C-alpha cells in the first residue's frame, strides 16, 4: 500500500519562487524611479538657481564714467559719477544732467549708457543736487521755469526749487517726502555725484 505523505505547511503557503523574484524586481524599480524623481525635484531647482545666478545678464554692473579729455575726472570716488564741469552750473536755475556710465554684465560691455539723471544748481559755494525720480511712485519730475518748481506729471506732486514739498491750498501732494538730495564731490572743475536710486512711497530716503 502506498504511503501518502502530508504536504508541509510551508509548501502550501509560500508563493512560488518566480513570483517573489518578480515582486522584488518591481519594488526595486519603483524605488529607483522614486529616487530619480526625488533627485530631479530636489536638485533641479537648485541647479537652475545656480545657473541663473551665474549667467543672469541682469546682474549688471556699472563703472564710473571718465570724462573725455578731463584728467581730473579720473579721480572719481567709489560710487560717484562724473556729471558736469562746474562752469556749466547756473546759480539760480537747476539744470538737468544725464548720468552716463559703462555697463558690464556677464556677456556685454556697453560704453557710455544713460543710467539716470539729476538736477543741479549752485547755491553760493555749495552745489545742490536732486534725483529726478519722483518719490511718490517713480515718474520723472521736470523743473518748470514759470512756476519755479519741480512738477511730476503722473499724480501732480510738486516740489520747491530747494527740493521740499510744495503744498497748494485746495490740492493734495501725494509725494511722501521731498526730492531726494544726492551727495556731490568736486575735484578741480569736475563735478561728481554719488548717484543711487531710492525706494519710492516711503517717508524716509532709503537707498535700494
Site residues (vs ligand FES, CB under 6 A): 134, 136-139, 152, 154-155, 157, 174-175
User: With respect to ligand FES, which residue has the nearer C-beta, 26 or 154?
Assistant: 154
**In the complex, what is the shortest distance from the CB of residue 159 to ligand FES, in angstroms, rounded to a whole number?**
10
Place of cell 526749487: 161
**In the complex, what is the shortest distance from the CB of residue 173 to ligand FES, in angstroms, rounded to a whole number?**
8
**In the complex, what is the shortest distance from the CB of residue 30 to ligand FES, in angstroms, rounded to a whole number?**
58
Strand order in the sheet with 126-131: 61-63, 95-104, 109-123, 126-131
Beta bridge partners of 147: none
User: With respect to ligand FES, which residue has the nearer C-beta, 109 or 168?
Assistant: 168
User: With respect to ligand FES, which residue has the nearer C-beta, 134 or 182?
Assistant: 134
**In the complex, what is the shortest distance from the CB of residue 139 to ligand FES, in angstroms, rounded to a whole number?**
4
Report, in angstroms and rounded to the nearest whole number, the Rg of the chain calculated over CA atoms.
35
User: With respect to ligand FES, which residue has the nearer C-beta, 76 or 134?
Assistant: 134
Query: Do 143 and 94 meet the contact criterion of CB atoms below 8 Å apart?
Result: yes
Place of cell 522584488: 24
User: With respect to ligand FES, which residue has the nearer C-beta, 81 or 136?
Assistant: 136
User: With respect to ligand FES, which residue has the nearer C-beta, 100 or 118?
Assistant: 118
Beta bridge partners of 53: none
Count CB neighbours of 102 within 10 A: 16
**In the complex, what is the shortest distance from the CB of residue 142 to ligand FES, in angstroms, rounded to a whole number?**
11
95, 113, 52: which is closest to 191 by C-alpha?
95
Place of cell 521740499: 164
Beta bridge partners of 176: none
**In the complex, what is the shortest distance from the CB of residue 151 to ligand FES, in angstroms, rounded to a whole number?**
9
Count CB neighbours of 9 within 10 A: 8
Q: What are phi and psi of 204, to 5 degrees?
A: -105, 155
Amino acid at each position: 500500500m502506498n504511503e501518502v505523505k502530508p504536504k508541509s505547511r510551508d509548501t502550501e503557503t509560500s508563493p512560488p519562487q518566480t513570483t517573489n523574484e518578480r515582486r522584488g524586481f518591481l519594488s526595486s524599480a519603483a524605488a529607483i524611479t522614486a529616487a530619480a524623481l526625488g533627485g530631479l525635484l530636489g536638485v533641479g531647482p537648485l541647479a537652475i538657481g545656480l545657473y541663473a545666478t551665474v549667467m543672469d545678464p541682469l546682474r549688471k554692473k556699472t563703472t564710473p564714467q571718465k570724462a573725455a579729455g578731463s584728467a581730473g575726472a579720473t579721480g572719481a570716488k567709489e560710487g560717484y559719477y562724473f556729471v558736469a564741469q562746474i562752469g556749466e552750473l547756473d546759480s539760480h536755475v537747476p539744470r538737468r544732467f544725464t548720468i552716463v556710465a559703462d555697463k558690464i554684465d556677464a556677456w556685454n560691455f556697453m560704453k557710455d549708457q544713460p543710467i539716470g539723471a539729476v538736477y543741479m544748481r549752485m547755491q553760493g559755494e555749495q552745489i545742490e543736487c536732486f534725483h529726478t525720480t519722483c518719490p511718490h511712485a517713480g515718474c520723472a519730475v521736470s523743473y518748470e521755469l514759470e512756476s519755479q518748481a519741480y512738477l511730476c506729471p503722473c499724480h501732480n506732486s510738486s516740489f520747491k526749487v530747494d527740493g521740499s514739498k510744495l503744498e497748494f491750498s485746495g490740492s493734495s501732494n501725494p509725494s511722501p517726502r521731498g526730492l531726494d538730495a544726492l551727495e556731490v564731490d568736486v575735484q578741480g572743475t569736475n563735478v561728481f555725484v554719488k548717484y543711487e536710486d531710492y525706494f519710492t512711497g516711503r517717508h524716509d530716503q532709503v537707498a535700494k
